[in-house]
Chains A and B, each alone.
Chain A
């Protein structure tokens, strides 16, 4: 009851007008040239600040925004998390209370999948659409790196920044060109946003494991596929040194005669902006993450439309399903051991369900209730029928739809949102005990 009273007190605060950030003021957003750096490392919040700058700034302005994220895997607007990311591996890296070591984020711009950590810096330039050029600001970053004494960097034909690397004796390595930055873009009615990564001092060991999905060989997907490249760090210790170089180059490119002003955006103040909070809630919603997925077809065996050989097809059955926006549109199953009504019932169970809302395979003790049938002689069919159990295990297990890991990832979104809401409402920083409370209360509200 005491907690209820406290919660109601927090709710009262929302009746009073929320403070706007002192720093991202209407005045700041109207300037012709603006420079911001972020003091938070939460990837969802940084992307929401960026989106706020895109939406609310003076349409004639040019803005530079620099930020660093905690470890996360970021997929593009129109990508498929099942094919791009090793979801079971991601979900396994739980640190505390349902939060993952690597967040899973779907950004609003296009392009492919990248992995961020604190050794990677993100730069973002927003400008009027009529002067939009895909290379212009990548070239600006290349100049900034050159000014820091980094050699061999240039922009390639895919608008990414690459570095030609030679070993100490000057002999060329194979491969000799490594990607150090990837670019992505978002275009609205009047504005263009170009953002990119920069590998300064990142842990590159985790990357390939996280980005090789076991389900990829079985899924033919619409949307955008990532293009793989070998990567390397440029070897800069402090992100702020990189920020300073880029800010100098931005000012060189856009001399406006005004004194230098770099606005540092604080986490608390960003959260109090209603528009940033709104965008944040969208990025943290399971709907945004899973239901933005374009149509895809998963099939256990090669088909005429998708003849790729599969590494490990099941032997007792053949299965194919089509999903759009995470909703299962159709599913076909063939097995000599499964006949109607069992076959029909088990297929009907999956139809129209959203993949990220499917129960974990092993959580269901009463499959009969879900499958909703009994065979003619009055006996219920339990999952002792090996083929049915194998089918569900194959489809919903870690190597395919990974329904268990998906729920863990969705739970992590909710924990993150709760933490940020708590911060926005001005609560004391969360201690371990309070985080525990947040985590356990999640488990009953999912």
Chain B
């Protein structure tokens, strides 16, 4: 209620306006390549990534740029089922490119809370910005992470280790 009252006050011109306007404004759109400093991103050997939020209870998952490049132009993204609880490694959906249906596996044990329906219509978004978790990005699902999920998270690779891993995969 207090916040609504504050908004109403702000709507009326007042002597506080000058003070208020000097306060820094948060940018409306997140720049795509900047990860907020309070999120940690880790990768699996199967090229999925998960951003764990600072509260360690929620996260966002997707597939890596390395995988998206290897798959080629995606023609369809089969999204996970909302509300489903999965274990690490379970198949939660698939991507199709060049007649190949490739499984997407859960990077950690988690519960799917939201799916990126835009991808069904525009699978190309995944090719363009596979590691972007904003609205127009290629993220696949938002999840809730439990104890088991946090344990699984610790076993994953961070960005540096993942880059090394993919470098060796290329022989």
Q: Is this pair of chains taken from one and the same complex?
A: yes
- A224 CB contact (under 8 Å) in B46, B76, B105, B120: B76
List B contacts of A125 (CB < 8 A).
none
- A295 CB contact (under 8 Å) in B96, B103, B120: B120
* Contact flags A172-185 to B (C-beta < 8 A → 1, else 0): 00000000000111
* A376 interfacial contact with B, CB 8 Å: no
* B100 interfacial contact with A, CB 8 Å: yes
List A contacts of B76 (CB < 8 A).
78, 222-224, 294
* B157 interfacial contact with A, CB 8 Å: no
Q: Does the CB pair B94–A189 fall under 8 Å?
A: no
* A130 interfacial contact with B, CB 8 Å: yes
Q: Tell me, rounded to whole Å, the shortest Cβ–Cβ distance linking B116 to chain A.
A: 14
A186 to B76 CA separation, bound complex (whole angstroms):
14
- Residue in A closest to B99 when the chains form the complex, CB atoms: A111
* B54 interfacial contact with A, CB 8 Å: no
* B78 interfacial contact with A, CB 8 Å: yes
A76 to B78 CA separation, bound complex (whole angstroms):
13
* Contact flags A263-300 to B (C-beta < 8 A → 1, else 0): 00000000000000000000000000000001100000
Q: Does the CB pair B100–A109 fall under 8 Å?
A: yes
Interface-central residue, A108, A183, A187, by most chain B CB under 10 Å: A187
- B102 CB contact (under 8 Å) in A159, A183, A187: A187
* B53 interfacial contact with A, CB 8 Å: no
Q: Does the CB pair A187–B101 fall under 8 Å?
A: yes
- A110 CB contact (under 8 Å) in B101, B105, B120, B121: B101
Q: Does the CB pair A186–B101 fall under 8 Å?
A: yes
* B91 interfacial contact with A, CB 8 Å: yes
* B75 interfacial contact with A, CB 8 Å: yes
List A contacts of B101 (CB < 8 A).
76-78, 108-110, 185-187
List A contacts of B100 (CB < 8 A).
109-110, 134, 184-187
* B98 interfacial contact with A, CB 8 Å: yes
A77 to B46 CA separation, bound complex (whole angstroms):
21
- Residue in B closest to A183 when the chains form the complex, CB atoms: B99
- Residue in B closest to A78 when the chains form the complex, CB atoms: B76
With A189-B46, A224-B75, A295-B120 as contacts: A77 and B98 at CB distance below 8 Å = no
List B contacts of A112 (CB < 8 A).
99
Q: Tell me, rounded to whole Å, the shortest Cβ–Cβ distance linking B163 to chain A.
A: 18
List B contacts of A205 (CB < 8 A).
none
A185 to B75 CA separation, bound complex (whole angstroms):
14
- In the complex, which residues 90-141 of chain A have their Cβ closer than 8 Å to any Cβ of chain B? 108-112, 130, 134
* Contact flags A67-83 to B (C-beta < 8 A → 1, else 0): 00000000011100000
List B contacts of A295 (CB < 8 A).
120-121
* B169 interfacial contact with A, CB 8 Å: yes
- In the complex, which residues 151-197 of chain A have their Cβ closer than 8 Å to any Cβ of chain B? 159, 183-189
Interface-central residue, A159, A186, A189, by most chain B CB under 10 Å: A189
How many A residues are at the interface, by size bracket?
20 to 34
Q: Does the CB pair A77–B96 fall under 8 Å?
A: yes
Q: Tell me, rounded to whole Å, the shortest Cβ–Cβ distance linking B97 to chain A.
A: 8
Q: Does the CB pair A189–B120 fall under 8 Å?
A: no
List A contacts of B136 (CB < 8 A).
none
Q: Tell me, rounded to whole Å, the shortest Cβ–Cβ distance linking A289 to chain B.
A: 15
Q: Does the CB pair B120–A294 fall under 8 Å?
A: yes
- In the complex, which residues 98-127 of chain B have their Cβ closer than 8 Å to any Cβ of chain A? 98-103, 105, 120-121
Q: Tell me, rounded to whole Å, the shortest Cβ–Cβ distance linking B64 to chain A.
A: 14
Q: Does the CB pair B103–A222 fall under 8 Å?
A: no
With A77-B78, A78-B76 as contacts: A159 and B121 at CB distance below 8 Å = no
Q: Does the CB pair B99–A110 fall under 8 Å?
A: yes
Q: Does the CB pair A78–B78 fall under 8 Å?
A: yes
With A77-B78, A78-B76, A224-B75 as contacts: A188 and B103 at CB distance below 8 Å = yes
A76 to B121 CA separation, bound complex (whole angstroms):
18
A108 to B97 CA separation, bound complex (whole angstroms):
14
Q: Does the CB pair B169–A130 fall under 8 Å?
A: yes
Q: Does the CB pair A77–B89 fall under 8 Å?
A: no
- Residue in B closest to A107 when the chains form the complex, CB atoms: B101
Q: Does the CB pair A189–B105 fall under 8 Å?
A: yes
A183 to B98 CA separation, bound complex (whole angstroms):
10
Q: Tell me, rounded to whole Å, the shortest Cβ–Cβ distance linking A5 to chain B.
A: 41
Q: Does the CB pair B169–A159 fall under 8 Å?
A: no
* Contact flags A249-266 to B (C-beta < 8 A → 1, else 0): 000000000000000000
* Contact flags A417-434 to B (C-beta < 8 A → 1, else 0): 000000000000000000
List B contacts of A186 (CB < 8 A).
100-102
- Residue in A closest to B72 when the chains form the complex, CB atoms: A134
With A77-B94, A78-B78, A294-B76 as contacts: A189 and B99 at CB distance below 8 Å = no
- Residue in B closest to A325 when the chains form the complex, CB atoms: B81
- A189 CB contact (under 8 Å) in B97, B103, B121, B169: B103
Interface residues of chain A, those whose CB is within 8 Å of chain B, are 76-78, 108-112, 130, 134, 159, 183-189, 222-224, 294-295
Of the A-B pairs whose beta carbons lie under 8 Å apart in the complex, a sample of 28, sorted by A's number, is: A76-B99, A76-B101, A77-B78, A77-B96, A78-B76, A78-B78, A78-B101, A109-B100, A109-B101, A110-B97, A110-B99, A134-B98, A134-B100, A159-B98, A185-B98, A185-B99, A185-B100, A185-B101, A187-B103, A188-B103, A189-B105, A223-B75, A223-B76, A224-B76, A224-B96, A294-B76, A294-B120, A295-B120
Interface residues of chain B, those whose CB is within 8 Å of chain A, are 46, 75-76, 78, 89, 91, 94, 96-103, 105, 120-121, 169
Nearest 6 CB-CB pairings of A with B = A111-B99, A185-B100, A187-B102, A110-B101, A110-B96, A78-B76
